[in-house]
């Protein structure tokens, strides 16, 4: 009985269209590079109506950490930067760093961040998807209906898939794709919604229904006309004096 109910819900087209968002997956940190500028990230941003290109080194991008205890300039150049404060010349000379211990310390920081994130939200890995699998695509902001689609292939990026939605192919993250069934993805052709009643689409038994509705509407209109006529035939207001006193005529 439980399995039948579960399968009935999975095959329900309305249930598949209106669903809650999937929980976030576990954190997937980037691997620690072996050398400075081995892995570089870039992005665009606007500041005071000007466009900038930001380039970040994945090895020396962090502030001094307890596990590493080195500044970004020390990780990148092997020495402290020169500033206006007096400093010994020994501090400003480049020194070779133990890259193995630095990489181990950076990896330890990433492991702690992942454990904290996963424990806070109780995240879990979602099941993988395969080509021809029916899915539902999460709606865009401001919409509520999950769109039916079919998995085309797994993208080169982790947790990304190419999905066939109508005549388009979209790239979506795994958390934006919910598994569905072929029966739930079968869409029924809706009747044209132009605000008019299409008599030809009604069964024969209900062919007189539009006439009945018209007669009821006509009767209602006639009743409203009688009411308006009755309201207009109200007796005129009595005569009053300048001070507002009512004038009663003599019989």
Per-residue model confidence (pLDDT) at position 235: 61
Provide the pLDDT confidence category of residue 172 given band limits of 50, 70 and 90.
very high
Tokens matching residue 205: 């038994």
- Phi and psi angles of residue 236, each rounded to the nearest 5 degrees, phi first: -65, 160
Domains of the chain: 2-22+126-179 (2.30.30.140), 40-121 (no CATH)
Write 62-71 long-range contacts (CB < 8 A, 24+). Answer: 62/106, 62/109, 65/105, 65/106, 65/109, 67/105, 67/106, 67/108, 67/109, 68/102, 68/105, 68/106, 68/109, 70/97, 70/102
**Which of 91-105, 110-124, 230-244 shows the lowest mean pLDDT across its residues?**
230-244
* Mean pLDDT value across the chain: 78
C-beta of residue 163 within 8 angstroms of C-beta of residue 149? yes
Q: Is the pLDDT of residue 183 over 50?
A: yes
Q: What is the pTM of this model?
A: 0.57
Q: How confident is the model over 192-212, as a mean pLDDT?
A: 44
147 or 230: which leads in pLDDT: 147
- In this prediction, residue 39 carries a pLDDT of 93
Asked whether the predicted pLDDT for residue 207 surpasses 50, the reply is: no
Per-residue pLDDT at 135: 92
The C-alpha atoms of residue 154 and residue 129 are separated, in whole angstroms, by 8
Q: What is the mean pLDDT of residues 142-163?
A: 90
For residue 212, pLDDT over 50 is answered with no
d(CA 144, CA 136): 12
Question: What pLDDT was estimated at residue 143?
Answer: 84
Residue 203, pLDDT > 50, answer: no
Least confident piece of the model among 94-103, 118-127, 134-143, 235-244? 235-244
| Position 20 pLDDT exceeds 80 | no
The confidence score (pLDDT) of residue 196 equals: 42
Give the position of tokens 């950490």.
65
pLDDT digits (tens, 9 = 90+) for 44-57: 999 999 999 999 99
Tell me the CA distances in angstroms from 185 to 130, 138, 192, one per residue in order. Answer: 17, 14, 20
Mean predicted confidence (pLDDT) in 158-187: 87
Give the separation between CA 130 and CA 108, rounded to whole angstroms: 34
The C-alpha atoms of residue 19 and residue 13 are separated, in whole angstroms, by 11
**pLDDT score recorded for residue 57:** 92
Instruction: Report the C-alpha gap between 135 and 176 in whole angstroms.
Output: 10
Alpha-carbon dihedral sign for residues 154, 155, 160, 162: negative
Note the pLDDT of residue 182.
Answer: 78
Give the alpha-carbon dihedral of 52, 53, 58, 60, to 10 degrees.
-50
């Amino acid at each position: 009985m439980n399995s039948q109910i579960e399968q009935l819900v999975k095959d329900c087209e309305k249930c598949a269209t209106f669903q809650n968002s999937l929980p976030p997956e576990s954190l997937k940190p980037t691997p620690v590079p072996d050398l400075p500028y081995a892995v570089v990230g870039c992005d665009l941003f606007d500041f005071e109506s000007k466009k900038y290109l930001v380039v970040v080194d994945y090895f020396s991008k962090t502030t001094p950490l307890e596990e590493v205890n080195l500044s970004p300039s020390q990780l990148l150049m092997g020495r402290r930067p020169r500033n206006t404060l007096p400093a010994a010349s020994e501090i400003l000379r480049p020194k070779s760093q133990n890259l193995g211990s630095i990489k181990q310390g950076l990896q330890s920081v990433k492991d702690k961040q992942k454990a904290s994130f996963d424990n806070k939200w109780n995240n879990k890995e979602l099941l993988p998807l395969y080509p021809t699998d029916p899915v539902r695509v999460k709606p865009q902001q401001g919409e509520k209906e999950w769109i039916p689609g079919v998995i085309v292939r797994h993208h080169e990026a982790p947790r990304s898939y190419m999905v066939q939605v109508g005549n388009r192919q979209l790239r979506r993250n795994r958390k934006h794709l919910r598994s569905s069934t072929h029966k739930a993805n079968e869409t029924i052709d809706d009747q044209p919604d132009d605000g008019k009643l299409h008599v030809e689409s009604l069964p024969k038994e209900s062919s007189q229904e539009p006439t009945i509705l018209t007669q009821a509407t006509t009767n209602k209109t006639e009743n409203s006309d009688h009411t308006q006529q009755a309201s207009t035939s109200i007796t005129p207001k009595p005569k009053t004096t300048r001070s507002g006193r009512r004038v009663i005529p003599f019989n």
